[in-house]
Structure 1
Amino acid sequence: MLYIRSSVFFCFSIWISLAMGTTTQEYLDFVLPLVKNAGQELLSVKNVEVEEKGEFYDVVTVYDRKIEQILFKKIKERWPDHKFIGEEESYTKGISQLSNESTWIIDPIDGTANFVRNLKDACISVGLVINKEQVMGVVYNPFMDELYTAIKGQGAYLNGVKIQTNGATDISKSVFNYELSLGVNTKYYDLYMYRLKHLLKHIGGIRSMGSAVMGLCYVATGRMEAYQCDGLFPWDAAAGVLIVREAGGYVRDSNGGEFDLMDPNYIATATKELSDKFMEIERRADQERESDAQNHKQLKF
C-alpha cells in the first residue's frame, strides 16, 4: 500500500512538472542566489535616506526600490511571460489582479522601519503563485543569516534544516506576536484595541516585532505560538503563509472566512486548536466593539 501511494505521488509530481514546464524546485534554485545577493546588498548599507509613502509610519528607502527592480529584472529575463506584484511598483501603479498565470509576489524589504533603525527583524520575501495557489516561498533575513524556504507539499526549511511549529494548543502559555503598529491607523485602531483588551486576559505574553513576514516565520520555527496582523497586502503573505502551513501551522482570516491572499488579514498559529481559541476570544471582542459603536451612534441622535 505504501509503495502504491508513493508511486501515485511520484506520477502526480511528474505530471505537475510537465504541465508547468519548469518544476517548482527549479524556480526555487533560480531565485535563491538572487535573494541572497540582495541580502548582501542590504548588509553593505551605511546611510539610509527615508521617504514616507503615505502615512507617516509607512516608509520606503532607495534600497526597497533597488532590490525589487533587480529581482524583477532577473526573473523577467528568465521567464518573460510571468506576472509580477511588488510592494513598491504597486504603490505607484496599483495592485494587479491575481490571475491563473505564474505570478511572483515580492516584498524587497519587509520591516523597512526596522531596517532604517538597524533592528534585525527585516527580510526579503519572494512568493510564487501558480493557478492562484501559493506554491513556493523564500524569506531571507541577512542580518541574522536566516534563509526560510518552502515548496507546497514538501515542508518548510530554515537554512536547509526542516522546521515545524511547536505544536502549542494552550493559549495561556502562548507568546502572541501582535502587529500593534498598524493600530496607529485610525481605520484599525478600535479593531486592535478591543481585541488586545480581551486577549491580554488569556495569553502568556505579547510581542510586536514590526515585520509581518518574520512574524510568520517565527511561528513556523516554534519561536512564538501565534502571529496576527490586519490590514496587510499580498506581499506580506505570499511567502510566509506558505512557510507556516508547510511547517504544520494553521493560517486563517482573522475576521472569519477563508484566507484571501489578495486581501490578507491573518492570524497564524502553531495549531488549528490554538487558532480556534484565539478566534473565540476575538469574536467576543468584535461583538463588544460593534455594540459600543452602535450605542455611540444612537447617543449622537
Structure 2
Amino acid sequence: DEGSLDQFLAAAVDAAQKAGQVIRKGFYETKHVEHKGQVDLVTETDKGCEELVFNHLKQLFPSHKFIGEETTAANGVTELTDEPTWIVDPLDGTTNFVHGFPFVCVSIGLTIGKVPVVGVVYNPIMDELFTGVQGKGAFLNGKPIKVSTQSELVTALLLAEAGTKRDKATLDDATNRINSLLTKVRSLRMGGSCALDLCGVACGRGDIFYEIGFGGPWDIAAGIVIVREAGGLIFDPSGKELDITSQRIAASNASLKELFVEALRLTNGAAFNFIGEGEVMDAQAKKKALFRSKLNAKKKETRIDSPLVRYNESEQPVCRVCNVVLKSESLWDVHQASRKHHEAIDNLKASAAGVQRGNKHAETKPTKVESSAAAISSKSQTSSGLPPNFFESAIKHPEVESSKPKNVQQPKQTIGSETNKTKGPLPDGFFDNQKADSSDTKTTSEPKESQTQTTGTVVKGALPSGFFDNKEADLLARGIKLVKPDIKDEYKEFEKLIQEDLQVVDSRMEEEEVDAAETIEEEEQREQRSYKEKVEILKKRKMELKAARLAKRSKTSEGSVKKPKKTEEESPSDDEDDEDSAVDWRAQHV
C-alpha cells in the first residue's frame, strides 16, 4: 500500500549500494570473526550492513515486516506471513569475505503473500548489480539477462554448494550426489554464495543450481525473483513446488529440469533427502533405496565399452547405428547379429558411397535410343514366355525394308513364318487374334514398321502373366520414379510401444528383486538368531558342567586320604574335561 513495485525496487537498490560500500571497505581490512557454527561465520561487517539496510527500508516502509540473517533469524523469529516482508542477507558468502575471495554480495528480497516479487543482489567487489521485478524482467547492471539454452546434461555446467552441516551422514549424502552427478554433467562449480549462484543461472553463466541445507530464506528470496524473470524455473530438488522455508532449492532452464530431477533421483544415497516435508522413511523404504543404489552400481560396472553404443537418461544402452534401445547390455551381441543392424550398416555404407556412384553413372549415361533398346533387350531376357532375341527382328526389320511399301499379304506371311519358328515357347492361343489382325491390315497400306507396331499393341493383352513383371525398369526407362511407402514411422511407433512394455516389466522385476532380497535378508537374520540361541545354550551348559566339576573336586579333596582313591576319583573329571571340550568345539563352529 505504501508504494509500487518500482518504488520497492528503487529503495532496495539504494540500500544494497550503501551496504556494498561498507562491504567493499571491509573486504581489504582485518576482519573480526565469530562462529555461528562449525563453518558458518559472522563478522562485524555482516551486522553493520544488516542494520544499515533495515534502517533505510524501515524509514520508507514502516508497516512492512523484516527478516534478517544476523538479527531476526538469530533470535529464532523467521515466520513468513502474507504481509509485505523484506528478507535480507547483508553479506552472503561470509567465508569468501574472510578469505578475500571476491564472490560476496548483499541480497535483498521482498515477498508479498509469501511470494518473492522484488529481488536485488549486489556484488560490490566485482560491481555487479542483479535486479528483478515480478512481470518486468531481470537485469545485470541495467541490461536484460536470460537463462541458458542448454538442453542436455552432458553439456551443462552445474553450480552447487555443500551446505553448512558437517555431520557424517550429511557429508556422505553430499559426496555421493556429487560423485554421481559428475558423470552426468560437463563440470561442477562451488562458489560459496547461494544468491550469486542463482544469479549465475539467471544470466547463463551456469545451467543448473541446487543446494540442500542452506541457511534460510534470506539466501534465496532475491535470487528466486531474478531467475524466474530471466526465464528460468525454481523448484524443489525432488521436482515438486518450492517451499521457500525448506532449505532445499534447485534452478535451471525449462529443458533441463526433468533431466536433472531424474539424475538426482538415481543418485546413490540421495533418496534419503528427497522424502516429503514431515515424512519419515521407514526401514523397508530405506532397504529398497539401498538395494536400488547397489543395482545402479552394478549397472555402471557392466556398461558396454563400444563406440557404437551410447546411453540414454535411463541408463539404457542405445545402438548409434539403428537407434534401438536395448533392454540390457547382454542383448548387445544378439543385436549386432540381427538383420536390422546389418541393414542399417549397409545403408550407411551406401549413403557414404552414393556420391561416387552418382558421378560414375553420369559419365556412363547412355543415349536415349540406346537406353530404349537396352530396356527392350532386358525385357526380352526377363520374359519367361518369349524366345531369346525375340525383339531383335522387330528392331532390325524396319531399317532394311522401311522404304518398300508392302501389301497386306506380306505381313501375314512374316507373321506366319515367325509363328512356325516361335510358337513352341509361346502359350496356347497367343495368335488367336490373327484374323482380326488381317482384317484390319486389309484396309490399310501402311509400311511394315507401322504394321509391326499395330500387331504389338493388339496382342499385348494376350501376353502371359509375368511378362511385364519388370515394371520398375519400364517406368525408369520412361523417366518415372516409383514412390515406395514409408513404414518406418509405423515401425518406430510399434517399437516405442514394445519399449514401454519392457520398461514396465523391468520395473516389476526390480520390485520382485527387492522383495526377494528382503526375504533372503530376513531368513538370514532368523538363522543367525537361531545360531546365537544355540550358542548361548551350549555356553550355559558349559558353565553348569564346570561348576559341577569344581564342586566334585572340592568334595573329593576334603574326603580323600589315600592317593589311589584320589586317582580313582579324578578319572571322572577327565571325562568331564572331554565333554567340556566337545561343547566348546560345537559352540565355536556354530
State whether TM-score is above 0.5: yes
Give RMSD over aligned pairs: 2.4
After superposition, give the CA deviation of every residue in 1:51-99 in whole Å (9 maximum; x if it has no partner): 101x220000011011101111121122111101100113431132111
**Corresponding residue of 2:56:** 74
Higher strand share: 1
The correspondence for 1:263, drawn from 243, 246, 255, is: 246
**Corresponding residue of 1:12:** none
The answer to whether residue 50 in structure 2 is matched with residue 64 in structure 1 is no
How far, CA to CA, are the matches of 1:239 and 1:166 in structure 2? 19
Distance 1:288 1:239, change over 3 A: closer
Distance 1:287 1:76, change over 3 A: closer
Task: Check conservation: 1:178, 1:207, Cα contact below 8 A.
Answer: yes
The answer to whether residue 229 in structure 2 is matched with residue 246 in structure 1 is yes
The correspondence for 2:12, drawn from 19, 31, 34, is: 31
The answer to whether residue 10 in structure 2 is matched with residue 22 in structure 1 is no
**Corresponding residue of 1:126:** 108
**Corresponding residue of 1:280:** 262
How far, CA to CA, are the matches of 2:5 and 2:208 in structure 1? 28
Task: Give the TM-score normalised by the residue count of structure 2.
Answer: 0.45
Distance 1:190 1:171, change over 3 A: same
How far, CA to CA, are the matches of 1:72 and 1:287 in structure 2? 40
Task: Check conservation: 1:83, 1:101, Cα contact below 8 A.
Answer: yes
Secondary structure at the residue paired with 2:30? coil
Identity score, percent: 36
How far, CA to CA, are the matches of 1:185 and 1:52 in structure 2? 17
After superposition, give the CA deviation of every residue in 1:149-194 in whole Å (9 maximum; x if it has no partner): 0000111000000000112111101111121354634452233122
Secondary structure at the residue paired with 1:153? coil
Task: Check conservation: 1:42, 1:63, Cα contact below 8 A.
Answer: yes
**Corresponding residue of 1:152:** 134
Task: Check conservation: 1:181, 1:208, Cα contact below 8 A.
Answer: no
**Corresponding residue of 2:344:** none
Structure 2: state its 5+ residue gaps.
274-285, 292-520, 530-590
Distance 1:272 1:137, change over 3 A: same
Distance 1:124 1:288, change over 3 A: closer
Secondary structure at the residue paired with 2:116? strand
Tell me which structure has the larger Cα radius of gyration. Answer: 2
Secondary structure at the residue paired with 1:147? strand
Structure 1: state its 5+ residue gaps.
1-19
Bigger mean CA deviation after superposition, 205-214 or 91-100 = 91-100
Secondary structure at the residue paired with 1:206? strand
Task: Check conservation: 2:35, 2:42, Cα contact below 8 A.
Answer: yes
Distance 1:94 1:187, change over 3 A: farther
Task: Check conservation: 2:202, 2:227, Cα contact below 8 A.
Answer: yes
**Corresponding residue of 1:83:** 65
Task: Check conservation: 2:2, 2:61, Cα contact below 8 A.
Answer: no
The correspondence for 2:25, drawn from 25, 41, 44, is: 44
Show the 5 A alignment for 1:92-241. Answer: 92-180=74-162, 182=164, 184-186=166-168, 188-232=170-214, 233-241=216-224
Task: Check conservation: 1:253, 1:264, Cα contact below 8 A.
Answer: no
How far, CA to CA, are the matches of 2:134 and 2:71 in structure 1? 27
How far, CA to CA, are the matches of 1:117 and 1:288 in structure 2? 33
Task: Check conservation: 1:181, 1:210, Cα contact below 8 A.
Answer: no
Distance 1:104 1:187, change over 3 A: farther
Bigger mean CA deviation after superposition, 141-150 or 219-228 = 219-228
Secondary structure at the residue paired with 1:37? helix
Shift of residue 104, structure 1, vs aligned partner? 0.1
Bigger mean CA deviation after superposition, 188-197 or 59-68 = 188-197
Task: Give the TM-score normalised by the residue count of structure 1.
Answer: 0.87
Bigger mean CA deviation after superposition, 32-41 or 133-142 = 32-41
Shift of residue 33, structure 1, vs aligned partner? 1.7
Say which structure, 1 or 2, has more relative contact order (CA 8 Å, 6+ apart).
Answer: 1
How far, CA to CA, are the matches of 2:31 and 2:48 in structure 1? 13
